[in-house]
Amino acid sequence: MPVSLFDWFADRRKGQFVGKVTQESEESDGLWEKCPECGQVVYRKDLIDNCSVCNNCGHHNRIDSKERIRLITDPNTFKSINNHLTPVDPLGFKDRRAYADRLRESQASTGLKDGVLTGTCEVDSIPMALAVMDFRFMGGSMGSVVGEKITRLIEYSTKEKLPLLIVCASGGARMQEGMLSLMQMAKISGALERHRDAQLLYMPLLTHPTTGGVTASFAMLGDLILAEPKALIGFAGRRVIEQTLREKLPDNFQTAEYLQDHGFVDTIVPRTELKETLAKILRLHKTQKVKVQSNT
């Protein structure tokens, strides 16, 4: 039965849509989005207003680093640090395409110099250091510049006595930089240890996906490890593990929920509740730190 114009607007105000939507109308002008999880078609503006989380099934769509910063921080408080750093091609690496060409393409398509944005911000008026990885830039892979920017941010937050949040979204180490990429794991981990020695808070937020060398280093070194619902989190891929163990893995293996059940993730936070949750954690940490200092 066709839907009247009045009913269409009434349903849209409720965040719903009833009736048949053609493939052409879904894609025209970018007004509509189809949920990859449940298939529901929603008005793009409504989806963005809900932090790009599907109202029907709760699927968390992937968002870029700038949108992530907008959702986490107080308005106009994010100040970028070390944004001038740009990757090079130290090995002259080439597979099907030259690494230098891949870099230029990613920089042009994302407007970023590499796969992470770092800086300081405020969350509910509480100062915090923030790094946000961007999966659009070569799968969020960790090269020497990504590692250097994160390390410098950790060192700055240690010096300024700031709590730290790193939003992880990565396929792992960047193979085109070889050992220069892998050494970032140890460099970042060392900086985090000095941050911990200063009794400062570090929280990684594991988003979909967080894998490889990122999981094997700073993603799992937090004082409090947060994750988004149903995020893929792991080191090696499911197929590799199954072939190695010669057994079938559970369907929910390497999801945030599975890792929480097995003690690797402390809490799963829906994106729509993230800023409020961060504010509560930061206020609690600040209060406890004042109590400790007053007792000593």
Tokens, residue 105: 């393409």
- Per-residue pLDDT at 29: 58
Choose the weakest-confidence range: 22-36, 82-96, 191-205: 22-36
Residue 285 φ/ψ, nearest 5 degrees: -65, -40
- Whether residue 2 is predicted with pLDDT greater than 70 in this model: the reply is no
- Per-residue pLDDT at 273: 97
- Each as own residue / partner, the long-range contacts of residues 35-44 (CB below 8 Å, 24 or more positions apart, any chain) are 35/59, 35/61, 36/61, 41/17, 42/15, 42/17, 43/12, 43/17
- Per-residue pLDDT at 4: 45
Q: Partners of 133 in the beta sheet?
A: 116
- Whether residue 79 is predicted with pLDDT greater than 60 in this model: the reply is yes
Question: 121 near 130, Cβ under 8 Å?
Answer: yes
- Per-residue pLDDT at 290: 66
Amino acid identity, position 117: L
For the chain, domains (ranges, CATH) are 1-61 (no CATH), 62-295 (3.90.226.10)
- Per-residue pLDDT at 295: 66
Amino acid identity, position 276: E
- N- to C-terminal Cα distance for the chain? 73
- Per-residue pLDDT at 288: 76
Percent of the chain with pLDDT over 90: 85
Which pLDDT tens digit goes with each residue over 238-247? 999 999 999 9
Helix ranges restricted to H, the chain:
5-13, 23-27, 44-49, 65-72, 99-110, 144-159, 179-197, 212-215, 238-245, 256-261, 274-295
Average pLDDT for 135-148: 97
If we measure between CA atoms, which residue out of 46, 41, 59 comes closest to residue 15?
46
- Whether residue 26 is predicted with pLDDT greater than 70 in this model: the reply is no
- pTM to 2 decimal places: 0.88
Laid out side by side, the sheet with 202-210 consists of: 79-80, 116-123, 126-133, 164-170, 202-210, 226-227, 267-268
Question: What does the mean pLDDT of the chain come to?
Answer: 90
If we measure between CA atoms, which residue out of 188, 174, 53 comes closest to residue 118?
188
Residue 244 φ/ψ, nearest 5 degrees: -75, -45
- Whether residue 281 is predicted with pLDDT greater than 50 in this model: the reply is yes
Q: Partners of 121 in the beta sheet?
A: 128
Which pLDDT tens digit goes with each residue over 176-192? 999 999 999 999 999 99
Question: 217 near 188, Cβ under 8 Å?
Answer: yes
User: Which region, left, alpha or beta, applies to residue 82 given φ > 0 means left and ψ of -120 to 50 means alpha?
Assistant: left
Confidence of residue 286 (pLDDT cuts 50, 70, 90): confident
In this predicted model, which residue has the larger pLDDT, 276 or 27?
276
Which pLDDT tens digit goes with each residue over 59-72? 999 999 999 999 99
Confidence of residue 15 (pLDDT cuts 50, 70, 90): very low
Confidence of residue 30 (pLDDT cuts 50, 70, 90): confident
Confidence of residue 19 (pLDDT cuts 50, 70, 90): very low
- Whether residue 13 is predicted with pLDDT greater than 80 in this model: the reply is no
If we measure between CA atoms, which residue out of 224, 216, 118 comes closest to residue 172?
216
- Per-residue pLDDT at 287: 83
- Per-residue pLDDT at 103: 97
If we measure between CA atoms, which residue out of 126, 56, 86 comes closest to residue 276?
126
